[in-house]
């Protein structure tokens, strides 16, 4: 893999080896983008470019119809994103009436490891492993 930016062959290797750490890393980051329709923030440039290579612009993308980036069908299938624990749990909560809170402000981090949802006064955080925390972090709750 190129240290500066991914090549198509790098992406193909990652997609083709589901037992590799690289595949798992790409899957987790792509799961966030599949849910939100947006890139997570604070990624290394290499992974931001890799996500760009497996996505396209499409308004209303993301599980809740938000965002503007859509993971390609091929990448969704090969990364098994519809079975990713975070994707499964977020879909369940959206079906229960929760809404995504993608950003907590213009300078707030959007880490790929958690998704924030809310319904009325009930705030939840879905983590990368599909587990759910009640509420948001204290600093997040103030935003």
The pLDDT score that the predictor gives to residue 141 is 45
> Is 134 domain-assigned?
yes
> Is 122 domain-assigned?
yes
DSSP H helical segments within 17-114, as ranges?
Answer: 21-36, 45-53, 73-78, 85-95
Strand partners, 125: 116, 133
pLDDT, tens digit only, all 143 positions of the chain:
556 789 999 999 999 999 999 999 999 999 999 999 988 888 888 999 999 999 998 877 788 777 888 999 999 999 999 999 999 999 999 999 999 987 666 666 778 899 999 999 999 999 999 999 998 875 544 44
Q: How many domains does the structure of the chain reveal?
A: 1
DSSP code, position 20: S
Its pTM stands at 0.88
The pLDDT score that the predictor gives to residue 140 is 47
> Is 2 domain-assigned?
no
> Is 3 domain-assigned?
no
> Is 66 domain-assigned?
yes
For residue 86, what are the domain limits? 8-142
> Is 86 domain-assigned?
yes
> Is 112 domain-assigned?
yes
> Is 1 domain-assigned?
no
Tokens 């587990």 found at: 131
């Amino acid at each position: 893999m190129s240290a500066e930016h991914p090549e198509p062959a790098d992406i193909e290797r990652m997609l083709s080896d589901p037992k590799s750490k690289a595949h798992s890393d790409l899957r987790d980051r792509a799961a966030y983008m599949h849910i939100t329709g947006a890139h997570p923030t604070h990624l290394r440039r290499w992974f931001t470019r890799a996500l760009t290579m497996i996505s396209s612009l499409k308004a209303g993308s993301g599980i809740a119809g938000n965002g503007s980036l859509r993971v390609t069908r091929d990448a969704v299938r090969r990364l098994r994103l519809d079975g990713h624990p975070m994707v499964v749990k977020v879909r369940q909560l959206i079906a229960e009436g929760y809404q995504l809170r993608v950003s907590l402000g213009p300078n707030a981090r959007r880490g790929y490891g958690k998704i924030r949802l809310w319904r009325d006064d009930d705030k939840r955080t879905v983590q990368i492993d599909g587990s759910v925390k009640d509420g948001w972090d204290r600093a997040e709750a103030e935003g």
